[in-house]
Structure 1
């Protein structure tokens, strides 16, 4: 059964394997520790929120650019034929909302 190793080599191999096993167990202990799990979950949520916020920013930026391109000519001058109807509609919405809220207060 001798593989040509001396007892000192065998003992050194056992010591090395014990150290490797201890390091592996320490790593497993860190991975399953509740704080490590909570930190990982927090980081995952943070990444998901950052991705969502980034996508929302891009979508809003695109929408604003689309609206701006509809209301401003290529040379930067306002397109009054488009701005006036939008402004009138906005004022009408504000008036309707304010009337509704004043009616609710009276009741």
Structure 2
């Protein structure tokens, strides 16, 4: 095993930092005293001090990024789960017809829809009655 305990050759802190940033999808250019992190996907660029970091610090940063990514992925899966989408949609529809504070029906929204349904039923009944006496042979 190498001196780093991972079986590979010993890597400098700068090499580990570059590898960690690359794993996070960021391009890195090293300058004399600062490291410039190039923006990816429209994110703002950031300048950070290029103080030597230990491999353990870099690995901890990578592990934090993985944990954040896992939490974000879990949240996205929860948001697009069909049962949750259906529940949110039904809550939105219910909110249109029921006052969330009092639980009372919103008659100003229900009455026009009920009137439209009654009108449609009457129209269908009239059309059936009118067309029912004439049969084509």
TM-score normalised over the length of structure 2:
0.38
Pick the structure with more strand per residue. Answer: 2
Q: Which fold has the larger relative contact order, with Cα–Cα distance below 8 Å and residues 6 or more apart in sequence?
A: 2
| Greater fraction of residues in helix | 1
Based on CA coordinates, which of the two structures has the bigger radius of gyration? 1
